[in-house]
Amino acid sequence: MENRIKDKIQSFEDLECWKACNEVKMFIAGIIKKLPAQEKYDLADNLRRASRSATRNIAEGYGRFHFRENIQFCRTSRGSLYEFIDDLITCEFENYISKSELDIGREKINKALGLLNGYINYLNRVLTEKK
Query: Of 85, 19, 84, 75, whose CA–CA distance to 48 is shortest?
Result: 84
Query: Of 21, 106, 20, whose CA–CA distance to 56 is shortest?
Result: 21
Q: How far is CA 23 from CA 34, 110, 118, in A?
A: 18, 12, 17
Position 121 confidence tier, pLDDT thresholds 50, 70, 90: very high
Looking at residue 7, its pLDDT comes to 59
Pair 118, 5: CB distance under 8 Å: no
In whole angstroms, what is the distance from residue 29 CA to residue 6 CA? 32
- What are the residue ranges spanned by the domains of the chain? 12-130
Position 1 confidence tier, pLDDT thresholds 50, 70, 90: very low
Q: Kindly state which CATH superfamily the domain 12-130 is placed in.
A: 23S rRNA-intervening sequence (1.20.1440.60)
pLDDT tens digit string along 18-75?
999 999 999 999 999 999 999 998 999 999 999 999 999 999 999 988 899 999 999 9
